[in-house]
A and B are shown apart, each in its own frame.
Chain A
């Protein structure tokens, strides 16, 4: 199974990606409601382990990612990082990892809840993104892989999501 997180409006997403593989779980902006932001309570670790305590449908990715072979993120590049929508999904789903610490690559990181991490593919997009911002995005993604225990990742950029050729291969 693949999990796809994106920040495109529903119509734009349909236009860019008219057909998707059958075994894919897609999470993107809904016309109904925006996700609440993380309130920093750590309830996803110590009250409802693995799940966000805010029950708005955006905080239950841990179980899905535990079974996923691929995690694909399509995000506008904002200040050299993910867009607020994608960042919110990441903040709301730290239940994917455990609260406990481990030493990994000579730094402290969190221990893993799930045994097999997915392959991460990030497709950053947006006009006028500077080379320095693209480098920072790479640094952010690398840090994410260390903290999420991801062993293989790929990072692409294009001015628009549908201009990233590699993404079509991942989503075929």
Chain B
């Protein structure tokens, strides 16, 4: 059984769960189980031979609740052979900004006696998950995603971790991102100048 661990605190309304649903489709729903970083799901994970951790990058590392969960899970593992893969996604353009968090997961594997299977780091992951990108722009992310899914399916080691970004001009990505934040603030009744508050 493959445990798909959703590492976003937004859980069922997250970008991570969008990726998990895609993985479930590729891997077969009957072969997978979706789990969350909570104590009651530890027993489910213990019945898996593979874990795929899907998480957003928070301050250059793992989200704190996921980190907390891993430290507790490390002491509750049943010792069966297990392999871990990771899908890290960030709001930046560059997927390689996910690298330090993946390194942390490798150290977790060492501590927990888990085989590390490989990882992908996706820049602008939310744009892929939300299907807002033209197919060509999303191609590097889609290819990395499929590489990960194949490795998980065949329980093989990925030849290398993949850090990718979209085929989309960076200055347009910045403009689109900045525009989005202004729109979100407006929805909350916050004016542009108030976003810069230092008080």
Chain A residues with a Cβ under 8 A of chain B: 37-42, 45-47, 49-50, 62-63, 66, 78-82, 84-85, 87-88, 90-91, 94, 98-103, 107-109, 113-114, 130, 132-133, 136, 139-140, 143-144, 147
Contact = CB atoms under 8 A, between A and B. Distances in A.
B181 interface: yes
Contact of B9 (A40, A66, A98, A133): A40
Interface stretch (B27-35, B40-48, B190-198): B190-198
A130 B109 CA distance: 13
B160 interface: no
Interface stretch (B64-72, B76-84, B129-137, B141-149): B64-72
Contacts of B198: 50, 62-63, 66, 113-114
Contact of A87 (B59, B92, B181): B59
Given A50-B198, A136-B107, A78 B71 contact: yes
B62 A100 contact: no
B184 A84 contact: no
Contacts of A42: 184
B156 interface: no
Chain B interface residue bracket vs A: 35 or more
A132 B107 contact: yes
Contacts of A130: 107, 110
Given A39-B10, A63-B199, 10 more contacts: A40-B8, A80-B103, A91-B63, A91-B64, A94-B59, A107-B93, A108-B174, A114-B198, A133-B107, A147-B60
Contact of A91 (B58, B105, B195): B58
B85 to A, nearest CB: 16
B49 interface: no
